[in-house]
Chains A and B, each alone.
Chain A
Amino acid sequence: AQTVTQSQPEMSVQEAETVTLSCTYDTSESDYYLFWYKQPPSRQMILVIRQEAYKQQNATENRFSVNFQKAAKSFSLKISDSQLGDAAMYFCAYRRFQGAQKLVFGQGTRLTINP
């Protein structure tokens, strides 16, 4: 079974600085998807970024980018120019490429932005 681990329960960063959230996963499959979701205090789950394992290029969405290291099974999220609105729980998630589209989530990292 696939597992996802986020080893940082909490992180904090100064506004306008850069922060990196860590995620590792375990799988025996070669093709899969990885995601970062954001959950602000409103509780809504918001997709931040996704990465297809067969793509070597790291995904980028505005201030959010990932460092995908397939051999190391590592998928970190970098937030540049942190803003107060980035404060939230961040979840890393894995999904198989084929078959049922079930997501396997990590435990989450709570990100605090200090003004």
Chain B
Amino acid sequence: DAGITQSPRHKVTETGTPVTLRCHQTENHRYMYWYRQDPGHGLRLIHYSYGVKDTDKGEVSDGYSVSRSKTEDFLLTLESATSSQTSVYFCAISEAGSVTDTQYFGPGTRLTVL
């Protein structure tokens, strides 16, 4: 299994509070991603990173920001959480040009915004 951890694994917070989710990898992969999973939508890309300090938006980026100051860590921040951001969040990693060239996923974080 790819070495990907997410913290926290579960979080309950209130509307308007800031929340930061952390993804940590031990694979030294270049690419990291944040997805959200909601019923009826599958997984949708929020933001991704193609290197330290290099990030770009996905299809559902409004209300989210990211940062990557080290290869191994990718942070997702909800500046002011809303109930619509209640979801399961997955981090993924991949390495361009590798034999498998495939994304591997972390265990997910369940976030509930009350």
Contacts and interface: CB of A to CB of B under 8 A. Distances in A.
Interface in A1-41: 4, 6, 33, 35, 37
A108 B107 contact: no
Determine the main DSSP class of B at the interface with A.
Answer: strand
A101 B42 contact: no
B47 to A, nearest CB: 10
Interface of B: 31, 33, 35, 40-45, 48, 50, 56, 58, 88, 90, 92, 94, 96, 101-105, 107-108
Interface of A: 4, 6, 33, 35, 37, 43-45, 47, 50, 91, 93, 95, 100-108
Contacts, number: 53
22 contacts: A4-B42, A43-B88, A43-B108, A44-B108, A45-B92, A45-B105, A47-B103, A91-B42, A100-B50, A101-B96, A101-B103, A102-B45, A103-B35, A103-B43, A103-B92, A105-B35, A105-B42, A105-B44, A106-B42, A107-B40, A107-B42, A108-B42
A95 B102 CA distance: 10
A47 B102 contact: yes
